[in-house]
Amino acid sequence: MSLEIIILAAGKGSRMHSTLPKVLHKIAGKPILSHVIDNAKQLQPTAIHIVYGFGGELVPETIGNDFDYVFQSELLGTGHAVMQALPYCKEDSKILILVSDIPLISSTTLAKLIDSLDSSDVAVLTAVTNNPFGLGRIVRDENGDVKLIVEEKDCSLEQKKIAEINTGVIASDKCTLTALLNKVGNNNAQHEYYLTDIIGLANSNNLKVSAVKAQCANECMGINNKTQLAIAERYYQENLAQKYMEEGLIIIDPKRIDFRGQLSFGINVTIDVNVIIEGNVKLGNNVVIGAGCVLKDCEIGDDSVISPYTIIESGIIGKNATLGPFARFRPGCKLDDNVHVGNFVEVKKSFLGNGTKAGHLSYLGDSEIGSNVNIGAGTITCNYDGANKFKTVIGNDVFVGSDTQLVAPVKVGDGATIGAGATITKDIDSNVLAITRAPLRQIANWKRPKKKK
């Protein structure tokens, strides 16, 4: 039988206190629903059906159109939501039902649940927790078999003491699901059609119900408010940090790092505290990332040191670079080997050649800078005239003095020296000294202006 997956994502999530649908709040920079989808994809289903409701088209617009979306116009419960999607499933399919606010269940756990259908008609994923408040309880008979699931609001005092809870994840086949859901009523505290009622109905109809207990209850944690969202975020981050450390990454404190994308790294790589990794980031061998850095969609070569609070976005950094602290690289930067860019330097859409140095307090935008160039403090490439942007080209072995303005478009030839305080508006020849200072004047007996009474 083929596998199809139904993801229930129609709820409002009123406890989130947000106009954004709950499923679009983010963990590790990615919507909760996207995590559920990624785990589902690893099972290689023939189709994924997403039942959405609150937020309207915002859910499919955010997640993309690669799935079968089913709109639940009336939010009448989880059983009703599944019934909206079942007509779109093939008759001979196994059906796995996932809940969109439980994003961290591993594909390994889900695969075990599906495999249990080989010996049962309905399978339910359970977990044991120290705090089952608010969650449906798993009621077992004297033989240990699952008898029924009782929602918190419908539990007796004895049932509320049960620590084994329903995760909301259930598997069966289309024929069985359809037959059972057609018998589900809404005679309960919330007057909704509960998907969980099919467990009791299955037992009443002598169908075999199996239960797979999750190895780790934390992977089954639901997200219903901002506190739970933050708890899930840290669980996700610490798990990923643990995985990377087992692969050889040195993380100074796994509780103070955030991964919001994909990271690849060489040997002897060290990452200090409060670093954020976004998008696709590649770190070479012996790279050191200082505290508070933000790396997004970038590649950093071997033996490079990125000092604290440096931001690199969509750039390629060569080998043996020393960057920061407090340097910023906006998109489109490419640095050759042995480049130094120091504190409070901003670089945007520029190339810096081998051995070039910009020590501090400069802006280099839309620039092509050769090898072994010295950029003095306070240098600015004036690339924008208020309407258009222009390029500055600096050759090899150029010395640019402090407080220089290069008004683009402009070119500086190889070996040129630009004196401090210059404003360059025309091309500079090779191997010349360029100075634009006015002659020094000293006015004797100068009286400063005084404030009028």
- What does the pLDDT look like over 230-246, one tens digit per residue? 999 999 999 999 999 99
Catalytic residues: 360
pLDDT at 45: 97
Helix or strand or coil: residue 41? helix
Report the C-alpha gap between 213 and 255 in whole angstroms.
28
Q: How many CB atoms lie within 10 A of CB 369?
A: 26
Is the pLDDT reported for residue 1 higher than 90? no
Task: Indicate whether 405 belongs to any domain.
Answer: yes
pLDDT at 13: 86
Report the C-alpha gap between 406 and 394 in whole angstroms.
10
Q: How far is CA 438 from its chain centroid?
A: 54
Q: Are 149 and 196 in contact (CB under 8 A)?
A: yes
Q: Are 195 and 85 in contact (CB under 8 A)?
A: no
Is the pLDDT reported for residue 190 higher than 90? no
At which of 159, 187, 220 does a domain end? 220
Is the pLDDT reported for residue 452 higher than 90? no
Task: Indicate whether 448 belongs to any domain.
Answer: no
Looking at the fold, whether 265 and 153 belong to one and the same domain comes out as no
Is the pLDDT reported for residue 343 higher than 90? yes
Is the pLDDT reported for residue 54 higher than 90? no
Q: What is the CATH number of the domain that holds 360?
A: 2.160.10.10
Is the pLDDT reported for residue 55 higher than 90? no
Task: Indicate whether 441 belongs to any domain.
Answer: no
Looking at the fold, whether 211 and 230 belong to one and the same domain comes out as no
At which of 193, 220, 247 does a domain end? 220
pLDDT at 230: 97
Q: How many domains does the chain have?
A: 2
Looking at the fold, whether 232 and 291 belong to one and the same domain comes out as yes
pLDDT at 83: 96
At which of 190, 220, 250 does a domain end? 220
Report the C-alpha gap between 366 and 306 in whole angstroms.
22
Task: Indicate whether 15 belongs to any domain.
Answer: yes
Q: Which domain holds residue 397?
A: 226-434
Q: What is the CATH number of the domain that holds 17?
A: 3.90.550.10
